[in-house]
Structure 1
Amino acid sequence: MLRGYVLTYLVFLYAPIVLLPIFAFNDSTVIAFPLTGFTTRWFEALPATPELVRSVRTSLSIAVSASILATLLGLCAARVNARYAFPGRAAVLGFVMLPLILPEILVAVSLLVVLLTLGVQLNALTVVLGHTLICMPFAIAILNGAFGNLDPAIEEAAIDLGCSRWQAFRMVTLPLIAPGIISSLLIGFTISLDEFIIAFFLTGSDPTLPVYLWAQLRFPARLPIVMALGTLLVALSVILLCGAEWVRRRGMRRSGRRDAGGFFA
């Protein structure tokens, strides 16, 4: 019964993703069976849509910026959590990780109210700030593991040999935790690229890609183009997640630690 339940759950979870490429290559504007034929014209129509290209550029710039900011902030937080003890450390870390468990609609509305109260105009920068808030808990979790797998004696040895603390961190610690940093960047990029709720509330005149796609769902004739783009996004997300997992396992092997499992454990 347990195996049957697991199989049913996996089919229910991944069947929509399997249907995306099927209808993306279907030569019909109607999303239904039976299929009418094979075509690639929906993919060819993607670069010919200026609004779509603009939304892709906006989403890519926001995803890159948010992943970098989240990783930098997560690096500082993970460093402090792994190397220093101070009163209220657990409470502070729990507060920083709070966006991970809060409903995104609550976070989005709260950010919108704060920004409007401060008189901040909604634009791509406000979306970057919101996405950074969402991505940072994931970055902290990944980098906490990277620092946890690193022996503090290595950095202390570099300091004893004449390095300053900054030199020891830059020349010794940073290269050893580089796989964790790369994983954090990749995961942050994927989360930001797919994020809809916060982008919907905080976007300005230039919508992100998920917001643009949501608007296109009102027009049935454009659904095949949305399916084609969704197929490309799924492929990109899988590639990024596989890359992050490969980097993480490579870092575990380099550190000589036992792999306790990751994204695909």
Structure 2
Amino acid sequence: MGTSSGSHFHQQPSPKMLPPRQQPRELQTSLSLVSLDACGSPNLQERGSNSDQVRESPSENKISLRDVAREKVDIISERIQHLPNEFLEKLKTEIRVILEGTGGSLHREEFLSLQKLVQSRSDLTDKTLIRAHKVQLETLVAIKTGIQAFLHPSVSLSQASLIEVFLYKRCRNIACGSPLPTEDCNCEACSIRNGFCNLCMCVICNKFDFEVNTCRWIGCDLCSHWTHTDCAIRNGLIGPGPGVKTGSVPADMLTSPPMNLG
């Protein structure tokens, strides 16, 4: 086994092995889920100077997160074209706050409800998503992945890249962004698990994080896949080598039993 740091293990990784992709900490995202009121903007009212009649803004001028999650792409895209930028930023802020994890269980349930709506739709394909508004598409991707980085002001992915992330054709880790399956790997993890990337994700828990180039990650020299050290230990895939028992050589980490990652 090789490590991403190479400082604690006797055997060095093969030349092909590279550590999981480095990810800038400013893009770190929270996967804990909370929510806000999903009704979009407040109800605007206007009173004429010579009349007591109250006029409300037309309903078509308001779009909620639930509308984005459940309505047809072309319908929302058409409506969103007529909304001011301030409203679109407000919509993105709502889902960003949802993903920051500052709310309670009711907020979490609201997010899971939005996510269920998006994941259950069969009409969200490359042919329909190409007609989506950019903010609409960013919101759909953020809801599906649970990652707020897609709404970060300093991040601007192309329409094509967002569609590929949504359809599990590109790594959802923005700092990686590799086409999937990576290097055309056809192992069980890469070919069956939707959205799995063997360059930056743990083959056991399917997650990526920011503790790269440390002993938190270890790599398999045979299959070139990575896993968290604690995940591998917890699943009995690695253990101390003979050096621990004999004391004659420095301790090493060996697969016990051998890792079967592809």
TM-score range, shorter chain: under 0.3
Question: TM-score with structure 1 length normalisation?
Answer: 0.26
| Larger helix percent | 1
**Structure with larger RCO (C-alpha < 8 A, sep 6+):** 1
More strand by share: 2
What is the TM-score when the length of structure 2 is the normalising length? 0.26
